[in-house]
Amino acid sequence: MDAQFLQFAGSLAAIAAVIALTHFLGFSRAGRIADEAEARALFALAPGGFEPVALRLDEERRGAIARDDAGRHAVLVQHGGQFIAKVLEPGAQLTAMDGRLIIRARESDAKQITLRLGETAKNWAAST
Amino acid sequence: MPFNPVTFAIPVFVLLIIAELLWARLRRPEAYESRDTATSLAIGLGSTVAGGLTGAAVAALLAWTHSITPLSIGWAWWAWPLCFVLDDLAYYVFHRSAHRVRWFWASHVNHHSSQHYNLSTALRQSWTGFFALSFIFRLPLAFAGFEPGMILVCGGFNLIYQFWIHTESIKRMPHWFEAVMNTPSHHRVHHAVNARYLDRNYAGTFIIWDRMFGTFAAEDDEDRLRYGIVHQLGSFNPLKAVFHEWLAIGRDVWRAPWRHKLSYLWREPGWSHDGSRETSEMIRRRWAERD
C-alpha cells in the first residue's frame, strides 16, 4: 500500500510539474482561425456537415459565423487552442451591439457567444 | 501481476512529454494547450487508479479461464513472441469493437476526446474498461493455453508501444516500418475526424491487421488532419470526458421505443432508430458525394 501511495503521489507531482511547464512555455494562449479557408474547413466538420455561402471571421479571428444555402447559421466556438463548429438551432437569438454580435443558443446550458464583426454585426443579426 | 512494464515506463513517458513540449515550443505551438494537457494527464492518473482497483479481478478471470482449458502452453521462450502477436490481434478486435459497438465506445471515447494530438493524449486511458467488460477480448488467449501472466505482460508492452505513436513530431518512419508497424502517421489517421479517416487504423502494435481486414487508410498530406470526435466535447472537465457517452447512452435507452432500446447499446456510435444522427459510414458517404 505504501509503494502504491508513493507511486500515486509521485505521479501527481509529475503531472503538476508538466502542467506548470506547459503554461510556462506559453501553451495557454487562445487559438485563432488562420483565414476563411481554415474556417470553411472547420465548418465542414460540424455534425451533419455545413457548407457556408456566407462567412465572417471575428476581427481577432477568435471565432466565426456562417450561413448555408438552407438559411441555417453556424458558429465556430473557441475551445482552448482549437475551435468547434456548432450549428445553431432555430430559435437562437442574434443581437448586434456596438459592432459585436451576441449569440444566445436555444439550449438552456449553452454559453453566450460574442463575435466582433464590426459594421456587419447588424446584417448578421438581421439574417435570422 | 508480478511485473507491470507500464509502471516502469511512466517516468520515460514524462520525459518524452517534456521533450515533445520543447519541440512544440520551437516548431509547432498549436500542438499543445495547457488545459487540454491537464485534462489528459488527469484522465491518465484516474485510469491508473481504475486499473489498480480492477487489475486483480482481470488477472483472476484470466487465471480462471486458463484453469478450465485443457490447453497449456507454458513459459517456453517461443510462447512470448507468439503471445505478443496474438495479443495484438486480440487488441485489434477489441479496438475495432470499441469504435463499432456503442457500449465499448462509451469506455473508449475519452481517449479520442482531445482536439490535440500529442504524447499526453496517449494517457487519456479509460476509467470504465472493466465495467464495459473490455477484458473479454483477452480471455480467448487464456483459453488457448497462454499463461495469464504472459498475456498481461504482453498487453503491457503493447500499451507501452502505443505511447510514442501519439505525436505529430514524427512525420513518417522508413517505408518498411510503415508497412508492418503502427506508426505516428497511421495513428494520426485513427485519431482524425476527417470523414475519410473515420473508423480506420485500429492497430495496436502491428498495422498488418488493418491491411488484412480492410480497415487501413494512409495519411494524405494534402488533407489536413483534425482531431477529436464527431461531436466535439467542448470541455476540459475530465469527468465529462470519461462519462459523457455513458450518460448519453442512458438518455437514449430511456427515451427509445422498447424495440430499439438495446440497439442504442450494441449498434455503432451515431446510429439512431429514427435516422436523425449520422454514423461514420454516413459521414463518409456524404463526404464522398460532395467530392
* A21 interfaces chain B, CB cutoff of 8 Å: yes
Residue A95 domain boundaries: 36-126
Rounded mean pLDDT of B199-204?
98
Place of cell 505525436: B167
A94 and A113 within one domain = yes
Rounded mean pLDDT of B127-147?
97
Confidence of residue A128 (pLDDT cuts 50, 70, 90): confident
A50 and A99 within one domain = yes
Name the DSSP class of A30.
Answer: P
Task: Say yes or no to pLDDT of B54 above 80.
Answer: yes
Rounded to two decimals, the ipTM of the complex is 0.92
Q: Which three three-digit cell numbers place residue B61?
A: 478471470
Q: Where are the domains of chain B?
A: 5-239
Average pLDDT of chain B to the nearest whole number = 96
Give residue B4's pLDDT: 78
Q: How many CB atoms lie within 10 A of CB A69?
A: 9
Q: Closest residue of A to B40, CA-based?
A: A15
Which chain B residues are closer than 8 Å to A18 by Cβ?
14, 17-18, 21, 37, 41, 120
Count of the separate structural domains present in chain A: 2
Rounded mean pLDDT of B84-91?
98
Pick B18's closest partner by Cβ from A18, A41, A51. A18
State the DSSP string of A69-125: TTS-EEEEEEETTEEEEEEPPTT-EEEEETTEEEEE-SSTTPPPEEEE-TTHHHHHH
Rounded mean pLDDT of B115-138?
97
Confidence of residue B65 (pLDDT cuts 50, 70, 90): very high
A114 and A89 within one domain = yes
φ, ψ (nearest 5 deg) of residue A83: -135, 150
Task: Say yes or no to pLDDT of B1 above 50.
Answer: no
Q: How many CB atoms lie within 10 A of CB B187?
A: 22
Task: Characterize B92-105 residue by residue with b for buried, 16 or more Cβ atoms within 10 angstroms of its Cβ, and e for exposed.
Answer: bebbbbbbbbbbbb
A114 and A63 within one domain = yes
Confidence of residue A1 (pLDDT cuts 50, 70, 90): low
Q: How many CB atoms lie within 10 A of CB A88?
A: 22
Task: Say yes or no to pLDDT of B81 above 60.
Answer: yes
Give residue B271's pLDDT: 98
* A34 interfaces chain B, CB cutoff of 8 Å: no
A107 and A84 within one domain = yes
Residues B243-258: tens digit of each pLDDT: 999 999 999 999 999 9
